Chain A
Amino acid sequence: MSEQMSDDDERQQSPPSDLDFTSNKARTCIVTGSVSGHTEFQSPYPDQVLENVLENVLHFLTSRRDRNTASLVCKSWYRVEALTRSELFIGNCYAVSPARATARFTRVRALHLKGRPRFADFNLMPPDWGAHFNPWVLAFAKACPWLEKVYLKRMSVTDDDLATLAESFLGFKELVLVCCDGFGTGGLSIFVSKCRKLKVLDLIESEVSDDETDWILCFPEGESHLESLIFDCVEYPINFEALERLVARSPSLKKLKLNRYVSIGQLYRLMVQAPQLTHLGTGSFSPSEIAGQGDQEPDYVTAFAACKSLVCLSGFREIIPDYLPAIYPICANLTSLNFSYANITAEQLKPIISNCHKLQVFWVLDSICDEGLQAVAATCKELRELRVFPVDAREDSDGPVSEVGFQAISEGCRKLQSILYFCQRMTNAAVIAMSRNCPDLVVFRLCIMGRHRPDHVTGEPMDDGFGAIVMNCKKLTRLAVSGLLTDKAFDYIGRYGKLVRTLSVAFAGDSDMALKYVLEGCPQLQKLEIRDSPFGDAALCSGLHHYYNMRFLWMSSCRLTYQGCQQIARAMPRLVVEVIRSADEEEMDVCVQTLYMYRSLEGPRNDAPKFVTIL
């Protein structure tokens, strides 16, 4: 009882520091938990002192991996760690139930949940597969009402869930939804109107349905605590006047990312109100259609120049490149630039990029061609992350970028840690060069868009290139392969990819050996997603020793049979083995279309749709 009272106090006032909270708890324990039933105050047991100390110390432990390790020391440490964990990360929402999570971790302030597997983003899974936020929000509403932050990735969130969030958690501060769906502007309206302490509302690459409600208008009047408002994925017009007023009364606003319904003229008005922004998504970056012919164009250059803290720039959803010079004043400060919606040429890029000396993160379309990449390589010596997306994402499109730009980047950007590169042509030589020039690579994702395409100069498979990457990039944890690949490539990965945690394979390999090499050779493997590769039941069996160490395995359009999957399911009781077929197929077939399996403490889930069979 006394515990609950102190929690109530916390909710209504600003929360006390964790140290105060800890000592409250300790006193409570002593008063109520005495062996012989005494109720008067006694000097604490030695064990109790140790637990107090432990609580105070563990409070400083933030890494969840460290915390997991600490919790294994002994029961006392397990208990204390659970009490002091304030950020709860669950990489697969079906690995553990909400009830179990809230029972163990009672003082969580931040919840981070991931749902669907990544290949679901590419229509490889029928919709309504699962990953519902609803049971979680209900469980936490009851058990952890002081939850402040929720971060969801690939989950289905309903309008009701948003309402529950706003109503049940009085101090709620941050909501981040990445690749989520299931809600609309109606749910957003309720959410923003009731969350009086809201600091962060980030909608990133999520599908928001249009309920024709003006959710921007629903932000409460008076000074807002907003620090971050990201809604560039919302595909409907918003009430700009209401947004302008909201920005004007949000003095703490640092991050603002607009959708493509905000014109450049409107952007100007917002920037003038908020020169303190650090992260800006520019919206359409083109004028609205009703811009008068004779109207004076606002001074965009001055507006950008006034944003002295701007370090991250994105947007440009419908860019008119003539307006690009407006951003010249801030190029030198930029550490992150996202041009991945801007269909611009190398010539248009060069004047911008030649000033971006501090750039660390750069996302761009392949419309800049190899020449544009060469310009990037010439200037951006601090580049850590590069993503090159295709303008024309088809297998047989013309490829404006190739191994030429790729190699230029490797030679110019030696500190590169993460690369995602879509192209139509590649050579082993260029990939090998990158493996030598960029030894700090942690993430290497190369997508040669034509299936089974070899080195276009030698005609050889791409085995040696990827082999060099795993051999030379000793910090590599994430790898995505493509092009023509034989089992040899996978032998390399199994032999040298000792730190690889995430591996994506598509249209690759010749036989079961390939998958075996990986399952037997990569001890850190956590997430394995495979499509359209000739791996069968035997290969699947070769990973039995490792599956409990993995978050999940995805295999679609491979050569698995129902029986093979069933063997796995029988051998490993803590593994949930889901066989997924397309929504319109009625019966189970001998051949398995999609296998998705993951470790879980809960056994088969009870919300599986018809097209999912759990073995």
Chain B
Amino acid sequence: MESGCSKKLLDLIPQEKKWGFIENQNGISHGSSEEKKLELKLGPPGEEDELLVSFGYFSSMKSNAKHAHNKFPPPQEDHRGGAVLAASWAKNHHHQPKPPNCSQKRTAPGPVVGWPPIRSFRKNLATTSKLASESPTSLPHKVANERNPAAPETRGKGLFVKINMDGVPIGRKVDLKAYDSYEKLSTAVGELFSGLLAAQRDPSADGPKQEEEKAITGVLDGNGEYTLVYEDNEGDRMLVGDVPWHMFVSTVKRLRVLKSSELSVINLGSSKKGKRVQN
């Protein structure tokens, strides 16, 4: 049945052009002079988008990477965990319907099965082994006390949520229990990222530069360059500040600092308009 298969193969090749980013390549070129051709090119927007939608959550990141040649790396962190967030993001950006092909079916929210590839008996090491915080020199007395099932270090008491910012590839974490109001949170967020942003403007800087730190303010009132939004336990994206603080803390799953200019593009709160509760 080999001829049958190769026939199908020929049929498939023309369609392949639709899939690949590489345009008008004849077969596989293996010369160094042709390396440039192998670099990903920008396809026409429609074609790319169709392909990208089917990739689900990491699509928008790729298009950003291609289009942007500025110094700020595109926000890559969306595809870590929180795929629900990004899926609604992707849906909101691309209005073409998903083609019925076999894309990665699982856009499961949160952690992905079997990733990172660590066998189960190597996990949970933070709880089974001890972090030696204090180390007094006399052994026997201290021993009996330390041998407790390890309480989680600070995480048991805090409420840590991930926070990502446009233009900063690495996300951070904030402990919401450390704040009791939106103002304090907003100040903390501002401090958290202003140093990182400054370091990014000059990649050779080791740490936050003293001169160039631009304070990030106005994240709550819509006046600043950035706005703080969050994703709640139902996967909807909301403006921070709309609900009473304690309700916010109980429903927030992750935070995001967006450029205010991009706010209009985002469809906040999905279809449930009723969620925008006035304070």
Q: Which residues of A contact B (CB under 8 A)?
A: 119, 121-124, 179, 205, 233, 260, 286-289, 291, 293-295, 297, 316-323, 340-345, 348, 365, 367, 389-396, 398, 422, 424-425, 447, 449-454, 456-459, 484, 486-488, 491, 494-495, 506-507, 510-513, 516-517, 520, 531-532, 534, 536-538, 541, 544, 557-561, 567-568, 570-571, 590-593
Contact = CB atoms under 8 A, between A and B. Distances in A.
B116 A422 contact: yes
Interface stretch (B101-109, B178-186, B263-271): B101-109
B156 to A, nearest CB: 15
A526 B162 CA distance: 41
Contacts of B81: 395-396
Contacts of A122: 113-115, 117-119
Contact of A341 (B116, B120, B129): B129
Given A318-B130, A538-B9, A591 B105 contact: yes
Interface string B115-156: 111111111011011111001000111111011000000000
Interface stretch (B69-77, B216-224, B227-235, B236-244): B69-77
* 9 smallest beta-carbon distances between A and B, as pairs: A122-B114, A459-B73, A591-B102, A343-B129, A511-B20, A571-B5, A321-B132, A538-B12, A393-B118
B247 interface: no
B110 to A, nearest CB: 9
B217 to A, nearest CB: 27
A486 B62 CA distance: 10
Contacts of A559: 101-104
Contacts of B79: 450-452
Nearest to A486: B40
| Interface majority SS (helix, strand, loop, mixed), chain A | loop
Contacts of B274: none
Contacts of A568: 5
A453 B76 contact: yes
B112 A451 contact: yes
Given A320-B143, A395-B81, A343 B103 contact: no
A488 B38 contact: yes
Given A122-B114, A506-B117, A320 B132 contact: yes
Given A293-B144, A451-B79, 20 more contacts: A119-B114, A123-B113, A260-B128, A286-B143, A286-B147, A287-B147, A320-B143, A340-B122, A343-B131, A391-B125, A394-B116, A398-B173, A459-B73, A487-B21, A520-B28, A534-B55, A538-B12, A557-B105, A557-B106, A571-B4
Contacts of A341: 122, 125, 128-129
A491 B35 CA distance: 9
Contacts of B130: 286, 318-321, 343
Nearest to A125: B114
Interface of B: 1-2, 4-5, 8-9, 12-13, 15-16, 19-22, 28, 30, 38-40, 55, 58, 61-62, 65, 73-74, 76-77, 79-81, 101-106, 111-123, 125-126, 128-132, 135, 139-144, 146-147, 162, 169-171, 173, 203
Contacts of A424: 170
21 contacts: A123-B114, A287-B144, A291-B143, A291-B144, A293-B140, A297-B139, A319-B129, A322-B142, A343-B126, A345-B131, A390-B118, A425-B170, A451-B115, A454-B65, A456-B169, A507-B115, A510-B20, A511-B22, A512-B19, A534-B55, A567-B4
Contacts of B141: 293
B52 to A, nearest CB: 10
Contact of B20 (A321, A488, A512, A560): A512
A568 B1 CA distance: 10
B80 A393 contact: no
A117 to B, nearest CB: 12
B149 to A, nearest CB: 10
A245 B111 CA distance: 47
Contact of B125 (A121, A365, A544, A557): A365
